[in-house]
């Protein structure tokens, strides 16, 4: 994700202030949200001035009125160059349908406001609502769906529930906070948590604008986990050149160095020839099964960034790491939960921990859900008969890196068309633009 679908909430009153802010950060955001504090103090010309940054403008007016007034209010936005506008879902189905039709006629996407993220159950009760927040959101989301709105404004805590009942609605989520910063928001998550829940767009104000906006945004962007990719079992220069020159290359490229049982094994002399290809943005990985000193000495001058090691005890891997000064991917082969827990033995040695199937050379599978609850300060890599046609999104919630080999082959040979599909799917998941 280049800019992670982040709209900055410009909740400031000064035109100079907002222009200075956007000058600093516009390259790293997806859009601009203006709220009531800004809207009520600025002229139409000043709103249109924001268009110079070539970012969609989100007019957060939260319109709430009788049907005729609501429709005319939406129509009045036509000359402001805005892309999104908000309406309260409490307007009701009939008024929302009419407003949505008016919005579509002027190329504006309507977003329905469910329950403000500053509200909790007690707040709703004081207003006379008998529902808890979640139940009230459900009721309102169904109205948004029936009115055919583009999306809804919701707490990140409600995304999964909304997607389950209205999968076509886009979820725009305020209430994004870093760590313990809550301010006046109650139903909050961090940016990364919201994305993992399924948010389509993050709306972030004070965590960006308070203090150093550029540095704040950088920290938020770096906190958002992206799916990385590794393509393994490369055995020819043509395929390698394609990978390294791809517009969205894999972060890691693996070569079977010392395991002749694998059909993807590359003999040493051929390996030296292949590795003459400039790796560019990718990292080269030597895949090693029970490596002895002879093979390690043989490959020590080859341009590998990582050694991916199977079937070696922690003490041995530690010696390899110290002697050859390589980053280490510890590969654990998994049948059941007891195999998963072996990662604890390698925690201090590994730079990345790979969970693979027991029959790794045969592209076998294991239950990937076995590792979904692991929480450690190491990147987790996942392999085991992953196919290009799989729903790759599900793997992002389990691991940091997806490792695929046989799933990119046709008749045992790497298939360029499957490689392109895979890399483009990863790109789409990460929303790279």
Q: Hey, which residues are catalytic here?
A: 62
Place of tokens 């604890």: 344
Torsion, CA 238, CA 243, CA 244, CA 245, rounded to 10: 90
Q: Quote the CA–CA distance of 138 and 145 in Å, as a whole number.
A: 11
Residue-by-residue DSSP string for 290-329? S--HHHHHHHTTS--SEEEEES--HHHHHHHHHHH--EEE
Q: Quote the CA–CA distance of 157 and 174 in Å, as a whole number.
A: 11
Q: 433: helix, coil or strand? A: coil
Q: 246: helix, coil or strand? A: coil
Q: Are strands 409-410 and 413-414 parallel, antiparallel or unpaired?
A: antiparallel
> In the numeric block, which tokens belong to residue 177?
């906070």
Q: Which sign does the torsion angle of CA 263, 269, 275, 277 carry?
A: negative
Q: Are 252 and 229 in contact (CB under 8 A)?
A: yes
Q: Are strands 283-289 and 170-173 parallel, antiparallel or unpaired?
A: unpaired
């Amino acid at each position: 994700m280049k800019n992670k679908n982040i709209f900055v909430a410009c909740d400031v009153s000064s035109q100079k202030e907002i222009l200075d802010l956007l000058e600093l950060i516009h390259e790293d955001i997806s859009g601009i949200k203006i709220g009531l504090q800004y809207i009520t103090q600025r002229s139409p010309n000043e709103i249109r001035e924001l268009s110079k940054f070539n970012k969609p403008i989100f007019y957060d007016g939260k319109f709430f009125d009788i049907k005729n007034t609501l429709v005319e209010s939406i129509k009045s936005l036509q000359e402001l160059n805005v892309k999104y506008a908000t309406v309260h879902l409490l307007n009701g189905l009939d008024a929302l349908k009419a407003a949505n039709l008016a919005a579509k006629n002027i190329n504006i996407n309507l977003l329905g406001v469910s329950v403000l993220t500053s509200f909790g159950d007690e707040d709703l009760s004081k207003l006379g609502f008998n529902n808890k927040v979640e139940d009230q959101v459900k009721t309102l989301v169904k109205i948004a769906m029936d009115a055919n709105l583009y999306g809804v404004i919701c707490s990140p805590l409600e995304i999964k529930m909304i997607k389950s009942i209205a999968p076509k609605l886009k979820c725009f989520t305020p209430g994004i906070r870093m760590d313990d910063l809550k301010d006046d928001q109650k139903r909050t998550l961090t940016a990364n948590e919201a994305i993992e829940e399924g948010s389509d767009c993050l709306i972030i104000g004070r965590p960006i604008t308070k203090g150093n906006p550029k540095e704040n945004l950088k920290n938020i962007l770096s906190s958002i986990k992206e799916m990385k990719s590794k393509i393994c079992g490369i055995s020819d220069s043509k395929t390698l050149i394609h990978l390294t020159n791809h517009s969205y290359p894999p972060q890691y490229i693996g070569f079977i160095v010392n395991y002749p049982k694998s059909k993807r094994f590359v003999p040493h002399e051929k390996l030296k020839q292949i590795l003459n290809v400039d790796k560019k943005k990718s990292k080269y990985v030597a895949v090693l099964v029970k490596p002895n000193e002879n093979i390690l000495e043989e490959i020590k001058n080859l341009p590998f960034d990582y050694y991916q090691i199977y079937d070696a005890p922690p003490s041995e891997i530690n010696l390899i790491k110290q002697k050859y000064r390589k980053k280490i991917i510890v590969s654990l082969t998994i049948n059941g939960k007891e195999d998963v827990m072996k990662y604890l033995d390698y925690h201090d040695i590994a730079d990345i921990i790979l969970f693979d199937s027991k029959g790794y050379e045969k592209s076998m599978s294991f239950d990937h859900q076995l590792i979904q609850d692991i929480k450690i300060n190491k990147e987790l890599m996942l392999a085991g008969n992953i196919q290009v046609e799989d729903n790759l999104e599900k793997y992002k919630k389990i691991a940091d890196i997806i490792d695929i080999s046989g799933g990119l082959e046709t008749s045992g040979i790497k298939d360029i068309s499957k490689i392109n599909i895979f890399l483009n799917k990863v790109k789409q998941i990460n929303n790279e633009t």
